[in-house]
Each structure stands twice: as C-alpha cells, then as structure tokens.
Amino acid sequence: MLPGLNRRGIHANGLIHNHGTSSLGRPYAMNATSSLLTVQAAAVAAVGLGKSYSPHSGFLGHLSRGLGLSRSGSIDGANLALNDVSFEIARGEAFGVIGRNGAGKSTLLQILAGTLQPTAGEFAVRGRVTALLELGSGFNPEFTGRENILLSGAILGISRSEMERRFDSIAAFADIGDFLEQPVKTYSTGMMMRVAFAVAISVEPDILIIDEALSVGDIVFQQKCSRRLRELIDSGVTLLVVTHDLSFVLSMCRRAMWLDRGRVRFIGEAGACVREYVTAMSALAGNTPVPIADTAKLADAKLPDATPLGLAGCERLGDGGVRVEKAWLLHADGTAAGGFRVGDWAQAVVLVRASRDVSGVSAGCELRNRHGQVVFATGLRVARRLIATLSAGDSALVTIRFRLELQPGQYTLDLGCGAGGDSDNTWDRVLNAAVVEVATTPEQEVVHGLVRLPYEISVGRPA
C-alpha cells in the first residue's frame, strides 16, 4: 500500500504522486521540487496526468515481455485513456468535468480517488476524500443498509460509535424507511444511490468526488441533493463532479473542464466550457438538418437602422472561420432595445460572415438567467434550416424573433454561428453580447417560476 493512503485510497494532506514514462516508454524520475508543491492553495492539482492501457496486457502480453519478445513499458499501440491532463481546483471550489462517453472522465476520478494508478504525470489531493464512483461500490450486497453504513465509516477511518451517532441523520436523508434493515442486494439503483450519497455527505469530507451518481433517483431527491451540495460548498468543501447534466454544471460549478479522447479541450468558466462543448457537439449531431438555398438565392434583407450592439469588448470563443460580424437586439417594431416587459416580442439579428468557404452554416442565440441557466436557446440548426454554403467573404443576415415570457429580471444574450462537420468544424461564439432587461407592470400577472407557459384554467360545477 502506498504511504499516505489508507485502504480506500484516501489521500493524506499534501501527498504528491509521481508517475511517468519517457517517450520511449521507459520510466523516468520526476523532479522532487514539482510545481505541484507550490500550489499550496489547491485542494486538487494534476500536471501531465496520463493513463494508458496496453492491448497486450493479458497473460500472453506479460509472458512475451518476460521473455524479452516485446519492450517493457512500450506504449506502442497503447490505448490512451488520459493524455497530458493538467488542472488545479481551489479549496471550496465546485469543478465540473464534461465530455462524451469514453473521454476519460471516470478514469480521471478513479486516479484522484486513489483507486487507479496513472502511467504518467503527477497529482496531489489534499484533505479527506469521499468518492461516489461506481454505484454501490464499497457496499456488500449481503449486508443490510445499516451494516453497510457502519462499514463505510470504518473504511473511511471513522469509529463505529461515531457512525452510530450519525446514523439517524444518514437514515433521515436517505429516506428509504425499513429497507435500511434489508440486504442491499434487494435495493433498486435509486435506493442504493440514496444511501451512498447520505453516507458521503455525513462524514464531513474536505473533497467530495462524484461520478454521475446524481443522475440516478427521482427529481425530488435530486433537488434535495443539490441543496445539500450547495451547503457543503458554502461551508468550504471542494466538489469535483463528472456529469452529462450540463444544467447541473452551469448551476453548481464555478469552473469546468471538457475532456475529449483523453485530452483537455477546454478549461475555464463553467458557462464558457459548456458553450464550447455544446457548440462542438451540435456540429457533430446527426439531426440531418435540411439546408436552405445558397446565399445567391436568398431574398435580400435590409440591415436594421438601429445602432448595432458593441461586440468589440465581448469575450469570444471559436476559431472564426465564420464570425458574428454585427448584431442587433431590437423590439418588435425594429427599434433598438432599451428594456422589455414580460410578454414582449424581441428580435436578435445576426450578420454572419465567412472568412473561408464553408457549408452547413448555422446561427443562433441563448438567453441565460443570473444563475447561468439557459432559459431559451434556438437557431438555424434547431429549426433544421442550415445555410447550404457561404463562400469566403460572403455574409448572411439571420433574424430570430422570440417572446419574453420570462420572470422579471436581467438576462444575458449570447450569440453564435458555426459551420462544417466533424473534420472541418468552425464556429464563433460571442459571450454576453447584451443584457436583456425584463420588467413587469402592476397590472400584469406575476410570473411564478423561470418562465410563463401558455395555459388555460376552467372552473365548473361537478355533474
């Protein structure tokens, strides 16, 4: 067992793990004065982290290496689950990891939790770690829920008397009633997750690692978990979560990282990371939108008379093969937007220009509330009306009308465009292109919730 690790891989304060292979696959020694040692404020840090699996890792592969028939440690033909992954997470920060299946997300969490060893790079985890990885991992299916709760405490180094003292609060949070006295093998996946999560948050972790576990369970329990996670983060607990639920990342995490085929594609503010990911995935989506006519056959559209939005100081993402050259936010009558009332129509007008020949061109917009949640998003791709082609230097004017059936408040408007497929994908995203003010008047109906859906109410006398 490695020094500083208990049997569950809980990392001691300040523990640094070094692993590495040279480009030829031979082990190398990493500098003892690693840069990780200088990241004292970070709860979790990694530099050049890698994990590879040899296609010849079975008995015959080990035998051939033992007989000298293949190079020991050779990375030829190895499957790289992680490749040169570097990041750091501050104490008390909520950090999300997103990406497609097979991107290396779960592998990363297993390494950080101490249940898997990397083949390259180094990482540091400082503080008590509680990990929710594979659903039910660490539970004995023959034991009852109560017995597994006590067992989990023992694994984490917590005395039986202390776990018994916490048992009532764990049972109350899990809320599965008398099933706690039944063997875990009789539990549904939702019940298993309830107990596992209740244990994880009860042991006062410094770092909580979650791998998609919250996707299991009913919506009421998911909301209860989210409230509890916010309390933990506010109290200084570090949260590292892998999830496909992008709304969870936007609402819970301050920063996020997008992994793609084992490599870091983007790391930064959670909203920007999600936008990059969604934009790229949209380009790969197999929704076969129907292109409209080439720009030469499009009807002429006059540019708005109103002053365009000031995009010069806005943050942008993408490579600019297609670009939002100008944009307007207008009232229904075409005048520049100052403020809107609940129920007003708004127009987002986007002038898209290509810097090279592109095909399958889209443009769209997103509205986000103060929590970063997307309350509305649409565009040519959603409407299945892509522009067939744009030659270098050509432009197209896209107008999107939408009704602001929203709760009063401030919203940010993001604008973007994209083109191409997997191999020639290009895009441009303008963040916070405008602030949309939505107000209400005393005579208007109060909006309860995020949006106001069309509805009907009728009252009758029972027959």
Say whether pLDDT at 24 is over 70: no
CB 129 within 8 A of CB 10: yes
pLDDT > 90? residue 207: yes
Task: Give the per-residue pLDDT at 298.
Answer: 76
- Prediction pTM value: 0.65
Write the pLDDT tens digit of every residue in 215-261. Answer: 666 777 887 888 888 899 999 999 999 998 888 898 889 999 999 99
In the predicted structure, residue 292 carries a pLDDT above the cut 80? no
Average pLDDT of the chain to the nearest whole number: 81
Give me the half-sphere count of Cα atoms (radius 13 Å) on the Cβ side of residue 402. 18
Q: Would you state the pLDDT for residue 31?
A: 34
Both tokens of 246, joined, read: 């992008």
Per-residue model confidence as pLDDT tens digits over 346-373: 999 999 999 999 988 999 999 988 877 7
Give the least confident one: 61-65, 143-147, 412-416. 61-65
CATH number of this structure's domain 286-299+308-439, picked from the four choices 3.40.190.10, 2.130.10.10, 3.20.20.70, 2.70.50.60 = 2.70.50.60
Residue, of 108 and 271, whose pLDDT is higher: 108
pLDDT digits (tens, 9 = 90+) for 302-324: 999 999 999 998 988 888 899 99
For 45-82, b where at least 16 C-beta lie within 10 A, e where not — what string?
A: bbbbbbbbebebeeeeeeeebeeeebeebebeebebbb
Mean pLDDT along residues 114-140: 84
Structure confidence at residue 225 (pLDDT): 85
Q: Output the 3-class SS for the chain.
A: CCCCECCCCCECCCEEEEECECCCCCECCCCCCCHHHHCCCEEEEEEEEEEEECCCCCHHHHHHHHCCCCCCCCCCCCEEEEEEEEEEEECCCEEEEECCCCCCHHHHHHHHHCCCCCCEEEEEECCCEEEECCCCCCCCCCCEHHHHHHHHHHHCCCCHHHHHHHHHHHHHHHCCHHHHHCEHHHCCHHHHHHHHHHHHHHCCCCEEEEECHHHCCCHHHHHHHHHHHHHHHHCCCEEEEECCCHHHHHHHCCEEEEEECCEEEEEEEHHHHHHHHHHHHHHHCCCCCCCECCHHHCCCCCCCCCCCCCCCCCCEEECCCEEEEEEEEEECCCCECCCEECCCEEEEEEEEEECCCEEEEEEEEEEECCCCCEEEEEECCCCCCCEEEECCCCEEEEEEEEECCECCEEEEEEEEEEECCCCCCEEEEEEEEEEEEEECCCCCCCCCCCECCCCCCCCCCCC
Residue 116, pLDDT above cutoff 50: yes
Nearest to 47 by CA among 112, 127, 123, 108: 123
φ, ψ of residue 194 to 5 degrees: the values are -60, -45
Domain ranges for the chain, please list them.
15-129, 134-258+266-280, 286-299+308-439
Rounded Cα distance between 199 and 165, Å, is 13
pLDDT of 200 higher than 70: yes
286-299+308-439 and 134-258+266-280 share a CATH fold? no
Q: Can you give the pLDDT at residue 218?
A: 72
Q: How is domain 134-258+266-280 classified at the CATH fold level? A: Rossmann fold (3.40.50)
Please give the share of the chain, as a percent, with pLDDT higher than 70.
80
- The band of 62, judged by pLDDT with boundaries at 50, 70 and 90, is low
Q: In the prediction, which pLDDT does 216 show?
A: 61
pLDDT digits (tens, 9 = 90+) for 392-421: 999 999 999 999 999 999 999 999 998 876
- What local confidence, expressed as pLDDT, does residue 226 receive? 84
Q: What is the pLDDT of residue 286?
A: 47
Q: Are 271 and 372 in contact (CB under 8 A)?
A: yes
pLDDT digits (tens, 9 = 90+) for 11-22: 433 333 334 332
